Amino acid sequence: MSLKKEQYDSIMSEYARIRDRNRRALEKRRTKAYARIPALQELDRQTPSLAMEQLRQRLQGASAAAGPGTPSFRETAARISETRRQLLIENGFSPDYLEMTWDCPDCHDTGYIGRQKCHCLRRRETAVLYDQSHLDALAEGAYFSALSEEYYSGEDLKHFRAARRSCERFVEEFDSVFRNLYLYGTVGTGKTMLSVCTARALLEKGKSVLYFSAASLFDRLADCTFGSWTREGLRELTADLYGCDLLIIDDLGTEFTNAFVASQLFTCISERGLSRKPTIISTNLSLGDLQARYSDRVFSRITSSYELCKLTGRDIRLQKRRRGR
């Protein structure tokens, strides 16, 4: 993703604070262990001395001078490590008590694995550029278990229950079954809430989720394509759109639709389909409106590759307002 320098510097400063925090925590553990086990401190002093002695011998060309019965540096270090481990266990500590801990063990809280960005850095970039806090705010209280059926009845209730089951199954089988969802129907019937409940459940499983209203998504793509963004910025934006674990496009049809938008929508759903990356689209458009507004190929791709979940009924927001809620 293309971050501004100050945004990138802020993320790197946060990594530095995390490393400092973990180093201080290790130092506290070390102080506690040394106080209880004085012999442990002496063992920890021996390893650097052994390493320096090995280096000295190599520099002097004397690494082979030791007699056949003399243990190697590796053997001695292993013996010290095992003694250290036994001392910790015997005194009520875990064997890894004095090991460094990391918030991200993959990159050791640096943000990079070699020259590649770590997944934790990608998540932080996502939070900055795509305003994940907005999704967090939407997702507050958005649990499947908290959804109410009191605003539905008859066929509307059947539709809601079927759509809810589809969303719950989508989460349950996310890692084993490739599936896309198309939530459509009348205004205010819970389409956005169902998609946000799904997003929250997957975020809690550690999946990367990008949530856009259709208007903001296509505005951003237009700005990247025709505005002042660099080619690299556009490349990274589309890489995230096509590569995140789940993409949610909410309120399709509220954007200003033109040939560019139709083309970008088709490209997005096609690329994600090719890489088996699930997508959820919610809209107030009927299937006929979808075909007329975008193109036959968009209509064909969605109706053939997405599970269609229709929701009907009266606007829940209006019902709540009338009831004074």
pLDDT, tens digit (0-9, with 9 covering 90-100), for 179-198: 999 999 999 999 999 999 99
87 with 44: CB under 8 angstroms?
no
Alpha-carbon dihedral sign for residues 2, 262, 302, 146: positive
Q: Rounded to 5 degrees, what are φ and ψ at 117?
A: -70, 135
- pLDDT of the residue at 229: 63
Confidence band, pLDDT 50/70/90 cuts, at residue 48: low
The residue that leads in pLDDT, 107 or 204, is: 107
234 with 225: CB under 8 angstroms?
yes
Q: What is the pLDDT of residues 110-166, one digit of tens each?
A: 999 998 889 899 878 767 765 544 566 676 678 898 898 998 999 999 999 999 999
> What residue has token string 């553990």?
29
**Average pLDDT of the chain, as a whole number:** 85
Beta partners for residue 299, in sequence order:
none
- pLDDT of the residue at 7: 81
156 with 313: CB under 8 angstroms?
yes
Q: Which residues contact 173 (CB under 8 A, 6 or more apart)?
A: 179
Alpha-carbon dihedral sign for residues 292, 296, 302, 303: positive
Alpha-carbon distance values, 54 to 42, 80, 98, 118, 134 (Å): 19, 15, 24, 35, 56
Confidence band, pLDDT 50/70/90 cuts, at residue 63: very low
Asked if pLDDT for residue 31 goes beyond 60, the answer is: yes
Closest C-alpha among 289, 206, 307, 223 to residue 252: 289
- pTM score: 0.64
149 with 179: CB under 8 angstroms?
no
Q: Which residues contact 230 (CB under 8 A, 6 or more apart)?
A: 2
- pLDDT of the residue at 4: 67
Pick the CATH number of 130-315 from 3.30.70.250, 3.40.50.300, 1.10.730.10, 3.20.20.220: 3.40.50.300
Q: What region does 211 belong to: left with phi over 0, alpha with psi -120 to 50, or beta? A: beta
Cα separation, 314 vs 292, in Å, equals: 25
DSSP code for 276: T
Q: 121-135, 155-169, 205-219, 275-289 — which is least confidently predicted?
A: 121-135
